[in-house]
Amino acid sequence: MPDNMVKIAKVSDFAHTKLKSFKVLARPVGIFKEPDGSFRAMEVGCKHENADLTTGQIRDGVVTCPWHGWKYDLNTGECLWGSTACLRPYAIKIEGDDIFISLRPIDPDMPDPSAGEW
């Protein structure tokens, strides 16, 4: 297992879906399967009151929070209505059928832990 990361799912879990939500340190994190078969991970807890955005309405890559209507771009994490706070990415690494993610969101200005730079 990569350092500072936790096994969260299996690649095979995404055979019939492209998005799943998991709890990591009590925060909702979404794992996304991209059209090219790659994966990415990001926060999916609304910045307002931490509602799991994957339970909201998703249309054209934009999710509407099911609790209070805040909107986020699921490709960039940008909040489109409600705040300036963005959803942050998590480092992700695939080893065989196992998907690992960092325990905390990554800062884009910091080294990527999945690259062994931490």
If one counts every other C-beta atom within 10 angstroms of the C-beta of residue 52, the result is: 19
38 lies in some domain: yes
113 lies in some domain: no
Distance CA(4)–CA(6), nearest Å, equals 7
93 lies in some domain: yes
109 lies in some domain: no
**pLDDT confidence of 104, banded at 50, 70, 90?**
very high
111 lies in some domain: no
Q: How many domains does the chain have?
A: 1
| φ and ψ at residue 114, rounded to 5 degrees | -70, -15
- pTM for the whole thing? 0.86
Distance CA(95)–CA(99), nearest Å, equals 7
Q: For residue 75, what is the domain's CATH number?
A: 2.102.10.10
18 lies in some domain: yes
Domain span at residue 69 reads 5-104
39 lies in some domain: yes
Indicate if the pLDDT at residue 38 is higher than 80: yes
Secondary structure of the chain in HEC code, one letter for each residue: CCCCEEEEEEHHHHCCCCEEEEEECCEEEEEEECCCCCEEEEECECCCCCCEHHHCEEECCEEECCCCCCEEECCCCCEEECCCCCCCEECEEEECCEEEEECCCCCCCCCCHHHCCC
Q: For 41-72, how does the pLDDT look when each residue is reduced to its tens digit (9 = 90+)?
A: 999 999 999 999 999 999 999 999 999 999 99
74 lies in some domain: yes
The single-letter code of the amino acid at 50 is N
**pLDDT confidence of 79, banded at 50, 70, 90?**
very high
